[in-house]
Structure 1
């Protein structure tokens, strides 16, 4: 946090009303929480909420803000906001429905603050408030606390964000134009808050979720079969998966347990079960990694879960060694050749033509099938030969 450039001292986030009519969620995470994540990236040290801070959303937001080292404050209305800020403090004001996925716009903010605008035609079509014939408010402004005294000229029940927008415009704050490509790509939007959008978002929110998934999962071909399967599973069940906080640790623990069970199956001489569980463990871990990346997007870190691949490989090697019968050097030879092939750098592979033989899910599944017909040693040797052959093909293509 200390390394983050400080755009503003505090951020104003609107919570659901006391009657519980919230603004919906974007893939299992409230818009208020996504705005908090943006503010944290911008270096804000205080989170000021306007609305029902005792709602489940408000309590969750308080917990996350305090855990991140931010001061959590509550304003009952626009007039109460004045007491929370000193005249020199800078306040970041966000449209209640704003979902923003970039911080580049906030570089070199003028000392007095700024108002972010967008051409009127594109802005109004996207649901933003029109300022005049040529421009619309893009849902973000930054102003000094000294300007908040002008809120006394307005009724206490005035909508806070529009009131602050009028104050900022009357004060002549500099304007910064939003890149319209952000609107076109969906990285700057009002999901569920545009014309005709109700508090739940409805069809508008569903479209926003689909575009979010495409942006953060990508549409290109992944590097392995397990990554492709994991992406399809996550894309299909994204909302259900992201709304269950316990699912990620369950998947991670499941991957570890499956890998451990594969080692035990190798010790028990159950080749089919050992190789099948290695494949399932690798696939489960890939789903967990894909889910963690989607959950952390766009500003967070997905975590070091890909390091668990090493544990799976250790269990893979252990099971293979235990399944091969004979002297110790015979037990070690084929499994070590296989593992060295899996870690041999081969450069980029022509994914459109060849499967990635180093994909542990594909390899484990294929070896489990072979183990139904061949002794375990022959299965390991065949897998090692296949991996080395594919590596050789890719190496020749790279150097040829």
Structure 2
């Protein structure tokens, strides 16, 4: 309980981990290191309420800054770790300062994929959306009458398109795959969100990619793979994220689509743990990496317990959400390996849910403005029960009765 613990990465996972360590009785030196100047904050609102101006900066903070001082947590913001010395058990900061540890946790999260400079990725006015600096940098672009190209039809791109359209920006969204949400959702969910965005004036082009951006120092246009040219004021790149494993790799830790950890969040070094977006962990006989707030919190708390000698096997219960216009999408479970889907009409206009099945087993539910379907589906998935697909599709069926 009195060991020196250092946590690298002051995002959702890092903040949750240090708080849980104190809750579980750790009394030793505890340091949380973050590269950004702000204290730990929520990321999901950045591309939604914060970008729209509906949420003040202080409301983003996960906890008041004073919390860390009150808990005896040494919060080091605007601080980068240059390397991890596993043999000496210390980390070296970018200014040369050395911090010793008895146990170390890596919660470095993920970083956005960017466009290569060769196709215009280094031009001014080309943005990504991942952190507070990204949101502050792109906010002035979202002005009525401006023209934007959004590259990527996943949830990051669609959320940005919704905010831009709401601000009066003329939006073109291109997706190289045959449809939007191709990697993460069924055609029925993609159809729903395509119609939603089209109704708000977004020009969605599927099966079309970006050939290059053009401009003299700043982006002014784009050439698409179908030969189309567009005049632009700015562009936003939403082509996915990757785990931030640089420090772990340089330290020689085992990497497997993220920092490889066991069921108690231990890495290949028994003194080093990891949690959040940057990790891959055991799940149902395989390994997965989850990019979600719930996973960051739950896995970080499991890591804290293991660091204090109270390991419990981490069992992920995946769930996610996305806000676009006046639609709240709630996702329970993972649809990997689904064979068919069932569409259930919602209780009000414009609401519906998509239920994913492998054989007769329920895998996941996408619920659009359907909180009841989401809650019932989530409980069933967690309990390992699967309702009859025909009953689910029948709007007259009482979902709660299916739980019984």
TM-score in terms of structure 1 length = 0.23
The structure carrying a bigger helix percent of its residues is: 1
- Specify which structure has the higher proportion of strand: 2
Normalised by the size of structure 2, how large is the TM-score?
0.22
